[in-house]
Structure 1
Amino acid sequence: MNSQSCVNIEKEWDIVSARQLGRNLARKLGFGTVDQARIATAISELARNIYLYAGSGEIYFDIVEDHPKKGIRIRAIDQGQGIEDIGKVMKDGYSTSGGLGAGLPGVKRLMDEFHISSVPGAGTEVEVVKWLR
């Protein structure tokens, strides 16, 4: 699998860059404006988590085809502190930053597929897919 593109997340402005790149790729693939907004929102949440909790990481974008389906895959990868209790962070309303807690549960609702793996002390990887309808 070749990555279509990657955005390094190191400063707050990188969140905006990742969001724009993802939205543009979704538009080129033929996603409507509502799904483009869903994808961009999910990317914002994933990139913000990297920025806030890991300090740095990457967001990878891939076009995926599983005939007859076509879509966009986004992977957020960091080498941060990891997540001790994934079940806890996947509960609606849970927040360590004092935010609304829509974070990862919100990302899961916005996308069609959601996978998370995390090793405390070694980092986290979240992979999401949105299929073109």
Structure 2
Amino acid sequence: MTEYSTGWHVDSSINVRIVPRLGSRKWHSVMPIVVERFLGELEADGVGRGNQVNIFRTLTAILRGVYGKGAMADDPVKGVQEPEYVRERVVIPSLAYVKKVLGVADELLALEIVMMVGCGLRNGEARAAVCPATG
């Protein structure tokens, strides 16, 4: 599962973010200033910091591979600072709190909570499993 998921995210980063912005460039024209502008465009487009970090790492791996094979004279990411991503602190509710919430939740919300707690689902996954599709 992890390998598939990671591969899908890397492909997505390449096809959705990197190729549309840098795909028409020749390898030798990609310099640190180009990479910095690319990161600035991601920020301006509202791409979250976590995604920016993943996209930057994917781009760095590609560019360093090309540089390592001699297709570029200079390291295109030398001196470029990786976007900073600081994770928010996550508070895991106690079992007593979960039981208290289950006591006042309606049937659908209670099912969603049980799925999230028992199956380790994230909010969106649990919501998709519990709520019927609309449209």
TM-score by length of 2: 0.30
Greater Rg over alpha carbons, structure:
2
Q: Looking at secondary structure, tell me which structure has more strand per residue.
A: 1
Q: Looking at secondary structure, tell me which structure has more helix per residue.
A: 2
**Higher relative contact order (Cα pairs below 8 Å, separated by 6+ residues):** 1
